[in-house]
Chain A
């Protein structure tokens, strides 16, 4: 039962995630070929889940193949996220300092007596 649950839940969650990403095409986002390939991997994993009820060893091989196909999308995506998180952004401007002061006419602390 464990392989069935693992493969099935993984297939459904990854399938839903990829479907959500692909649905952004409605808003003009270009379709990534790796997303489509990965969605195919999700479908194969679903088949592996059913196959695991009959032939666990063959199902594991199919699941491994499907997972490797899906990593073709997830591995670059995770690498990109990690690179973005770890990257130190370059300073776009440099703050040198400011001279604080006020005249008697334009002070925020005292009423205008001019």
Chain B
């Protein structure tokens, strides 16, 4: 939070200083030797040292920025949903003891079990990415439209909730037709004690 203010203050200082140096007239007594405020050219060893140090710093910063942006670039998810599944799908992230999500061809694969709930130790990924949805069965996989008139993916949300086991990051979306989705959001979620409290509601 301090960086914007620091940047503005330094910019103001640099502007004032460079303007003074650019437009000032050298006084007669100063012609004999430069002052610390308005120095003349630096000696050769200092120039070489500062030049190399600056080059190393710039290259280092560039490499750090580049590595940072590469690491923070989110991978898209590929959701594998059981064929014929209708209802809410929920993925819970950073659950200790659960298997991590595999990666295939640059995409993180999330294979949803028939219950509609998947827990993984992998972290949630934030950012701009295009997720893919497919139905899987013994016959193979089939793409699920997430836009257009035949859309089957609705109400995708991600969030964080605090429960008995601490903070829980999750992602949810609904699989079904528009009418099924509207029916689901109109009626309250069932409170069944025999069911896992975090388990999503599937339409029979």
Binding site for B on A (CB under 8 A): 1-4, 6-10, 12-14, 16-17, 19-20, 23, 25-28, 45-46, 48-50, 53-57, 60-61, 63-64, 67-68, 70-71, 74, 77-78
Find out whether the CB atom of A63 lies under 8 angstroms from the CB atom of B18.
Answer: yes
Select from chain A the residue with minimum beta-carbon distance to B54: A50
Find out whether the CB atom of B3 lies under 8 angstroms from the CB atom of A17.
Answer: yes
Find out whether the CB atom of B15 lies under 8 angstroms from the CB atom of A53.
Answer: no
- Contact partner of B22 among A17, A55, A64, A71, CB < 8 A? A64
Find out whether the CB atom of A67 lies under 8 angstroms from the CB atom of B41.
Answer: no
A60 to chain B, nearest CB (A): 4
- Contact partner of B65 among A3, A14, A19, A45, CB < 8 A? A19
Q: Known interface pairs A17-B3, A54-B47, A64-B19. Does A1 touch B42 (Cβ–Cβ under 8 Å)?
A: yes
Contact flags B55-93 to A (C-beta < 8 A → 1, else 0): 000100100010001001110000000000000000000
How far, in whole Å, are A28 and B65 apart by their CA atoms in the complex? 19
Q: What are some 14 contacts across the A-B interface (CB < 8 A)?
A: A1-B39, A8-B54, A13-B7, A14-B10, A17-B4, A26-B128, A50-B54, A56-B21, A61-B22, A63-B17, A64-B18, A68-B15, A71-B11, A74-B8
Q: Does B141 contact A (CB under 8 A)?
A: no
Find out whether the CB atom of A70 lies under 8 angstroms from the CB atom of B127.
Answer: no
Find out whether the CB atom of B18 lies under 8 angstroms from the CB atom of A60.
Answer: yes
Q: Does B6 contact A (CB under 8 A)?
A: yes
- For B128, the chain A residues whose CB sits under 8 A away are 25-28
A59 to chain B, nearest CB (A): 8
Find out whether the CB atom of A57 lies under 8 angstroms from the CB atom of B22.
Answer: yes
Find out whether the CB atom of B11 lies under 8 angstroms from the CB atom of A10.
Answer: yes
Q: Does B46 contact A (CB under 8 A)?
A: yes
Find out whether the CB atom of B127 lies under 8 angstroms from the CB atom of A74.
Answer: no
How far, in whole Å, are A114 and B46 apart by their CA atoms in the complex? 92
- Contact partner of B11 among A4, A25, A48, A74, CB < 8 A? A74
Q: Which positions 115-166 of chain B face chain A at CB distance < 8 Å? A: 126-128
Q: Does B203 contact A (CB under 8 A)?
A: no
Q: Does B113 contact A (CB under 8 A)?
A: no
Find out whether the CB atom of A74 lies under 8 angstroms from the CB atom of B7.
Answer: yes
How far, in whole Å, are A74 and B72 apart by their CA atoms in the complex? 27
How far, in whole Å, are A68 and B3 apart by their CA atoms in the complex? 19
Select from chain B the residue with minimum beta-carbon distance to A29: B128
